[in-house]
Amino acid sequence: MWRVEIESLLRGETRALARAISQIEARDPGVGETLERIWDSRPQSVDLSSQVVGLTGPPGSGKSTMADSLTQLWREQGLRVAVLAVDPNSPFTGGAILGDRVRMQRHALDPGVFIRSMGARGHLGGVSLATRGAVRLLDALGWEMVLVETVGVGQSELEICEVADSVVVVTTPGAGDGVQVIKAGITEIADIFAVNKADLPGADRVTRDLRDMLRLSTPKAGWKVPVVATVAAEGVTGVRELAAAIAAHRSHLEASGELSERLRRRLREEVVELVSARARAFATDLLAGGGPELLPEDARRADPERAADLVLGKFHNQGLGADAAELSTLTGRS
Ligand SMILES: Nc1nc2c(ncn2[C@@H]2O[C@H](COP(=O)(O)OP(=O)(O)O)[C@@H](O)[C@H]2O)c(=O)[nH]1
Ligand SMILES: [Mg+2]
């Protein structure tokens, strides 16, 4: 990336940030150098990492509304807030989803708010890698709060824990919601529960049921998962309590050493993801032409494990061969 871009990034220009995230999505090899330069220019005194907050829960539970209310509150506290709306099912990328964009309009002119939707298209290696990369960049640039909202359902709810320090599961007083939450196995990923739409009947009951259920489960490394009743649409009731619970979770992560543990685990997972993305791309290219010397003529008599060995052998020679010197410096061995 050019010098001028780095300076724009360091000045906090939204457009430069959006462009840099596009480069991350395209897995542009220049991204590493950009990050290094950003780190080099960062004052030593600033060592706080971004607090990455995952917002997950069923569609319509109020995640985007909550993101907007939390953003408002954090802005009042002088914190910069980036919102990443992750939708693995969406082919669109770059802009926010229409309804959310309208909602977040009041932050449009605020340089302390950055909103970006992360869709599936153009992401070599998928939305999860791109989101990790975006979080890494925002952290380097010193954004205090990063909200990651999952738009899709299913797998994405679990993937959010891979990038978030604190996972907020948003539920509502709809029929049978409490039971659904247990079924989806989402209790394990929740650091905090928000029972949103607390203005609707049944909220007390869901809140109570969740608390009862959590009393029976073992605390996560000394953290007692709180249940907060919220009215995100109004932006007041419970939103302050939720923000306080998020801050308390951060303090807990720092005090217990769990934060650096989570950061290291995330790095390990990210490297594993990158390795598989690269190996997959390499194998796909290699075999695209039919892989005559690797695959037998008679597909039924093939030995796929043996073929995979051969592909990995070639991958090793091409990929690592050039980087052998760098690898030895990384591992400290020669
Ligand atoms: N009654 C009520 N409605 C809410 C509340 N929060 C959000 N909503 C509404 O619920 C709908 C879905 O909200 P949205 O934030 O888009 O949900 P998401 O799909 O989880 O992002 C919208 O019509 C919101 O206005 C709330 O606290 N109470
Ligand atoms: Mg939404």
Question: What's the per-residue H, E or C state across the chain?
Answer: CCHHHHHHHHCCCHHHHHHHHHHHHCCCCCHHHHHHHHHHHCCCCCCCCCEEEEEECCCCCCHHHHHHHHHHHHHHCCCCEEEEEECCCCCCCCCCCHHHHHHHHHHCCCCCEEEEEECCCCCCCHHHHHHHHHHHHHHHCCCCEEEEEECCCCHHHHHHHHHCCEEEEEECCCCCHHHHHHHCCHHHCCCEEEECCCCCCCHHHHHHHHHHHHHHCCCECCECCCEEECCCCCCCCCHHHHHHHHHHHHHHHHHHCHHHHHHHHHHHHHHHHHHHHHHHHHHHHHHHCCCCCCCCCCHHHCCHHHHHHHHHHHHHHHHHHHHHHHHHHHHCCC
**200 CB near ligand 1 (under 6 Å):** yes
Residue 115 CA to ligand 2 center (angstroms) comes to: 13
**199 CB near ligand 1 (under 6 Å):** yes
Residue 263 CA to ligand 1 center (angstroms) comes to: 32
Q: Would you state the pLDDT for residue 96?
A: 44
In ligand 1, the atom with minimum distance to the C-alpha of 100 is 16
Q: Provide the whole-model pTM.
A: 0.86
Ligand nearest to the CA of 85: 2
> In this structure, which topology does domain 44-256 adopt according to CATH?
Rossmann fold (3.40.50)
**171 CB near ligand 1 (under 6 Å):** no
**60 CB near ligand 1 (under 6 Å):** yes
Q: Would you state the pLDDT for residue 121?
A: 55
**233 CB near ligand 1 (under 6 Å):** yes
Which of 61, 63, 65, 147 best tests ligand 1's pocket when mutated (most atoms within 8 Å of CB)? 65
User: In which residue ranges of the chain is pLDDT below 50?
Assistant: 93-96, 98, 122, 321-322, 324, 327-328, 330-334
Q: Which residues contact 101 (CB under 8 A, 6 or more apart)?
A: 95, 115
> pLDDT of 110-142, one tens digit each?
999 999 988 765 455 567 888 999 999 999 999
Residue 11 CA to ligand 1 center (angstroms) comes to: 34
Pairing of strands 81-86, 113-118: parallel
